[in-house]
Structure 1
């Protein structure tokens, strides 16, 4: 049976896809391999594309040296689960709780006639909107990760959304931002559904990440047809040893 049924329903088993346990690694070794820096154990995006990095597995004893080779000494890297014991000299940084959402059969994407595709020429406007709306990390070349769309009013970009991580079979929707003066008009929802539509057209399912404390955003995404994926999700960093 196809993973995605013809009515676009995502079976409950889809949320159990192990790819979702390590989505950045799947993207960095798959759809975004051409952007990846690193090797067989640890990879990251270029600094002006995304702060995301990942390892193939924390069980390989060589992973620690691979991370140092990749980011250097005294540098930050996404933290392993708290159950993983750090080698001497490694230090855990701050952590915060996150949420991962996956599509359900209630999610029906649709193209938006007002949405315009954004690219390199739109980066200044995208960065300006992100600075004002604070949806999360967005850098000068983040637009290379996927399809980004926006809505303009009087020539100004007032809302945007796009694709970030691309784990196998999935598209992560990210950079959902609306100018404060244009909120309450449903622009963010319209752009999310536009991105979902084009992801479905490619045969991918939609997923998202959010801060667990951002309950307003989570409720919005649940109303659109996403649901929380079971299990806890912790975002944090570790700092590599300051010297070898």
Structure 2
């Protein structure tokens, strides 16, 4: 891999959650709504469990071992058990999870740097797309409600793509749908393994968006806001590390 891009990108693909949209805060908002209903006393314990169970259950879903409804029920039951409720029916799980989804949706916010960055890239005739492991209906709703859908030529969701990040196939599918080869495409995401390394394996140029400066030093080109992306795409030096 070269130290830096040899040319500006013809296309840029983005992860959605926590790259374009503040999902971390939305999850916290939804979780607090559940905690209130369940009488759960500890946000830190609830958040840790919710995140871990989400990874485990979503991985099982993407591997075809459980349906999406079971992902939600497993997360809900784990949280309820932690709060002292050991027996919850499927119907009650579904009702509680809808409460979470409603609260989560009410907290959807795009980061302030998103719209200006997308507009600037579009003005340079850069093709734009999204690759996400999130639920297709939910992610399309998110993009539409935040007035972001109009910016993107493609939105590739794992559940209908037949592959999930970091599988190279999902990145290549997005490139194919945009009509741009991987080596002319950049991928911007907030996760090292799922986003940056997955994109790299697919032949794209990865850019890690570490908004909160939580990722240890890495060889992947790193930015801390999307404002830096436009400078990087125009050939200016990035604020973060460069690929070796």
User: What's the TM-score once normalised by structure 1's chain length?
Assistant: 0.28
Higher strand share: 1
Higher helix share: 2
Q: Taking CA–CA contacts closer than 8 Å with sequence separation of 6 or more, which of the two structures ends up with the larger relative contact order?
A: 1
